[in-house]
Amino acid sequence: MATHAGTHDDHDAKPGFAQRWLFATNHKDIGTMYLVFSLIMFFIGGSMAMIIRAELFKPGLQLVQPYFFNEMTTMHALVMIFGAVMPAFVGLANWMVPLMVGAPDMALPRMNNWSFWILPFAFVLLLSTLFMPGGAPAAGWVMYPPLVLQGGDSIAFMIFAIHLMGISSIMGAINIIATILNLRAPGMDLLKMPLFVWTWLITAFLLIAVMPVLAGAVTMLLTDKFFGTSFFNAAGGGDPLLYQHIFWFFGHPEVYIMILPAFGIISEIIPTFSRKPLFGYKPMVYATASIAFLSFTVWAHHMFTVGLPLGSLLFFMYATMLISVPTGVKVFNWVTTMWKGSLTFETPMLFAVAFVILFTIGGFSGVMLALVPADFQYHNTYFVVAHFHYVLVSGAVFAIMAGTYYWIPKWTGHMYSERWGKIHFWNSVIAVNVLFFPQHFLGLAGMPRRIPDYNVAFANWNMVSSIGGFWFGLSQLIFVGNIIYTVYFARQKASARVWEGARGLEWTVPSPAPHHTFEVPPVIMPGMLAHDDVSH
Amino acid sequence: MSWTARIGAALALAAGSAAAAGATAAIGHPVPWQLNMTEGASPLSHQVYDLHMYAFWVCVGIGVVVFGAMIVAMVRFRKSRGAVAETWTHNARLEVIWTVVPVLILIALALPATRILINESNTGDAGLTVKVTGFQWKWRYDYVDYQGRPVSRVGFISRLAFNSDEARQLDSGINPRSLKSKTGYDDYLLNVNHPLVVPTHTKIRFVITADDVIHGWWVPALGWQADAVPGLIHDMWGEIDTPGTYRGQCAQLCGQDHAYMPIVIKAVPPAAFQGWLAAQESRARLDTIARTVQVAPVPAPAPQG
């Protein structure tokens, strides 16, 4: 790699603090800020979950009033979705996409700065509602009218915060698309790109397609609440279900926005630790694209119980079931990648294997939920809560943790503590099942979601689930400890390749990755890329 | 009941209901350590239960294959055991198989689901029509017609029973386990002041709506839940085979007391229902008379002094 002999932007010459972070334009610095922000939000949203699980520890109200409980469920979801999971994936994309495609930086560095710095303000707005008279929004993260319109002025803050998050996401998505389509190194054809880059390219298009839809929905809420319109008010000629259609037209692709990049991370990690190329690269790309396309045609499965006509129910049931075909292809490809490989189980691989198993369990409950008559029993129960936490926590969040352990040696130049990584993994994977598996039983036994108190028949499994919850929450302190250790205290230097089986451009730069990389496009040699032979 | 006995009972419930479809008495409320859906009390709920178990075992089957392959791979192809990685990345036959077979499995799941859904959506020929209205945070039931005859002015509000309402307050000091129904069931938060009384062996059409925000009317023993949406009418049907008490809850978040608007259905034999309905109607008639009766004006008191 050529050395750039510039005066002020030499490899490791870093500007002063404000210049470097507030006015950051470097994709690595912005990626770091996204990841740190996401980690903070993960703990804020996590503490809300701890309050929820503490109140549900036994029947009867012990800790909080029901309205505050509803504020917690609402804010927990908004913080985790928009504050923790999505920014974590954007952070990983910021760090890794330019390194993976051989680009010097993101295509639009100043916009990159803006899309990050909007987020802290958005979340200050959102979280400040907790301290307002009347409290934070409490109508669930789905914000269904008419209920949400009964909230106080805090809903204006929530709506404005969502607008800001949407703007941030759209700008981030534009940046990722522009980088991938314009800044690839010569020889990095689209069908040679790493799967993480592919999944993010598709995710970015989903973001651009649906974030404006969410913005429209919440803007209509705003005018219904403050300006006397009746979009969703039946008494004024509107329709409360119109909101649900618009919201879930955003909401279902949003689900895939939170899982497609996770698929990408897992598709990087499993081949590395299997020391064997990814099985079925092209089908993986096509499966991702089909999932993204189908995600626009299934939104009403979130509304099966609202009273849709038979024809609609059948259409959305079939379309939803169809999504399991490309998703199944992905799972089969991961398993086949491991087959006849040479496997080792470092922390990233452990998380990746747990992802495949637990995400698949979430997929199973997803197929069951797709069956409309069965959904009439599962809907709005803890069965659904179990389902989406399996795909989001042991799915998306496990993939983020896998990615962090996988790439942190490249970011910091140090190896994390393998011993504590494994302790973190085993605690997390056992606790997450103690936490969420019993929730299937609760839902099937008839416990609705979003309730602070319940009949004594639900007491036992709730207590088990709460114990799992506290255990899972505490285990994440090990994760933070390991990150701090790696960044500031670890002595073991990481090599450029880091992992024996790792292939791709990101492993050709030194560890830690210099402040500026690929200022001159890399020359791609045979065998350098993970997917340079795609005749298959 | 001891801890282990309770688990045993729950397992027996889960296993027993799978073994003896229709033979076991319908259970209208959740039990401790319950693991699975119950079969419920309505023809629809039996079908839904069967579909649920069918889908569950299909998932178990796929899980055994997929996770089994993963476990075998993780045991056999470890580097520490000297495994050397192969380099193949493609197998057309395998890929076609694992695309086509899932489609066939999905069709096998979709067929019964479609059949049940068509049955579920047929609300015609009902013997009784009940209008259900959701309010924050109570239900109103109005009897519309019975055996083709309009019912006049029978309707009432059904809300959380007083003892539960007292016990549910923050720091009430009342142990939720101390609340018992007449039959000894722990009915905390699942008891109401006026249950919905319906006849057994009668197809009941529920016409569901709401007055303020969206609620969800859900009695698991009927096999479905239906959102109650203000301004819209949602109709579903149920038919209860066995007399008994069936409990459910509001399923859709509807504000601070969402957890405190349970649903209790009391199913009685048709003859008893007829008697109950007649008594309610005559009470309504007496009430009307009492409200509209002409009362002679009270003569003005004679001026004093």
- Give the DSSP per-residue string, A61-115: --SS-HHHHHHHHHHHHHIIIIIIIHHHHHHHHHHHHHHHHT-SS-S-HHHHHHH
User: How far is residue B50's CA from residue A377's CA, in Å, rounded to a whole number?
Assistant: 12
Which residues, in sequence order, are bridge partners of residue B132?
Answer: B141, B208
Which of A333, A456, A533 to probe the B interface (max B CBs under 10 A)? A456
Instruction: Please judge whether B85 and A275 are an interchain contact, meaning their C-beta atoms are less than 8 angstroms apart.
Output: yes
User: How far is residue B303's CA from residue B305's CA, in Å, rounded to a whole number?
Assistant: 7
What band does A533 get if pLDDT is binned at 50, 70 and 90?
A: low
Instruction: Please judge whether B37 and A147 are an interchain contact, meaning their C-beta atoms are less than 8 angstroms apart.
Output: no
B73 in contact with A, Cβ within 8 Å: yes
For range A410-434, the mean pLDDT: 97
- Percent of chain A surpassing pLDDT 90: 92
Strands, E assignment, B81-148: 128-135, 138-146
Among B220, B214, B205, B163, residue whose Cα is nearest residue B188: B163
Six token digits for residue B222: 């009927």
What band does B26 get if pLDDT is binned at 50, 70 and 90?
A: low
B222 touches B41 (CB < 8 A):
yes
Q: Is 50 exceeded by the pLDDT of residue B21?
A: no
Mean per-residue pLDDT of chain A:
94
Residue A206 in 3-state DSSP? helix
Among A365, A363, A204, residue whose Cα is nearest residue A292: A204
Q: Is 50 exceeded by the pLDDT of residue B68?
A: yes
For range B79-105, the mean pLDDT: 92
Q: Which of chain A's residues have a Cβ under 8 Å away from the Cβ of B219?
A: none
Residue indicated by tokens 């908004």: A78
What band does B293 get if pLDDT is binned at 50, 70 and 90?
A: confident
pLDDT of residue A402: 98
Residue among B89, B113, B169 minimizing CB distance to A371:
B113
User: What 8-state DSSP symbol labels residue A298?
Assistant: -
Instruction: Please judge whether B189 and A276 are an interchain contact, meaning their C-beta atoms are less than 8 angstroms apart.
Output: no
Element (H, E) at A73: helix A66-78
Positions of A marked active-site: 76, 105, 141, 168-169, 252, 254, 256, 267, 301-302, 327, 330, 449
If you average pLDDT over each of A133-137, A233-237, B66-70, which comes out highest? Answer: B66-70
B250 touches B264 (CB < 8 A):
no
Rg, C-alpha atoms of chain A: 23
Backbone angles phi, psi at B124, to 5 degrees: -75, 170
Instruction: Please judge whether B172 and A373 are an interchain contact, meaning their C-beta atoms are less than 8 angstroms apart.
Output: no
Total length of chain B: 305
- Nearest chain A Cα distance for residue B21, angstroms: 17
Residue among A321, A335, A457 minimizing CB distance to B30:
A457
For range A40-64, the mean pLDDT: 96
Among A354, A497, A498, residue whose Cα is nearest residue A416: A498
What band does B285 get if pLDDT is binned at 50, 70 and 90?
A: confident
pLDDT of residue B300: 67
Which residues, in sequence order, are bridge partners of residue B198?
Answer: B267
Which of B117, B136, B257, B265 to probe the A interface (max A CBs under 10 A)? B117
Q: Is 60 exceeded by the pLDDT of residue A451?
A: yes
Backbone angles phi, psi at B133, to 5 degrees: -120, 125
pLDDT of residue A525: 84
Instruction: Please judge whether A376 and B250 are an interchain contact, meaning their C-beta atoms are less than 8 angstroms apart.
Output: no
Mean per-residue pLDDT of chain B:
89
Six token digits for residue A457: 């028949």
Q: Is 80 exceeded by the pLDDT of residue B2?
A: no
User: How far is residue A499's CA from residue A509's CA, in Å, rounded to a whole number?
Assistant: 13
Residue A171 in 3-state DSSP? helix
Q: Is 90 exceeded by the pLDDT of residue A30?
A: yes
**Exposure on the CB side of residue A456, measured as CA atoms within 13 A:** 15
For range A412-441, the mean pLDDT: 97
- Percent of chain B surpassing pLDDT 70: 88
User: How far is residue A204's CA from residue A85's CA, in Å, rounded to a whole number?
Assistant: 15
Q: Which of chain B's residues have a Cβ under 8 Å away from the Cβ of A60?
A: 167-168, 172, 174-176
Q: Which of chain A's residues have a Cβ under 8 Å away from the Cβ of B234?
A: 306-307
User: How far is residue A307's CA from residue B234's CA, in Å, rounded to a whole number?
Assistant: 5
Strands B204-210 and B128-135, by their bridges, are parallel
B107 or B28: which leads in pLDDT: B107
pLDDT of residue A527: 79
What band does B291 get if pLDDT is binned at 50, 70 and 90?
A: confident
Sheet holding B138-146, edge to edge: B149-158, B138-146, B128-135, B204-210, B234-238
What band does A251 get if pLDDT is binned at 50, 70 and 90?
A: very high
User: How far is residue A166's CA from residue A114's CA, in Å, rounded to a whole number?
Assistant: 13
Tens digits of residue pLDDT in A31-45: 999 999 999 999 999
A61 touches A479 (CB < 8 A):
no
Tens digits of residue pLDDT in B213-247: 999 999 999 999 999 999 999 999 999 999 999 99
Among A378, A321, A357, residue whose Cα is nearest residue B62: A357
Tens digits of residue pLDDT in B151-192: 988 999 999 999 999 999 998 999 999 999 888 899 999 999
Residue among A339, A450, A456 minimizing CB distance to B258:
A450
User: How far is residue A140's CA from residue B255's CA, in Å, rounded to a whole number?
Assistant: 9
Instruction: Please judge whether A146 and B91 are an interchain contact, meaning their C-beta atoms are less than 8 angstroms apart.
Output: no
B269 in contact with A, Cβ within 8 Å: no
Six token digits for residue A426: 């085993």
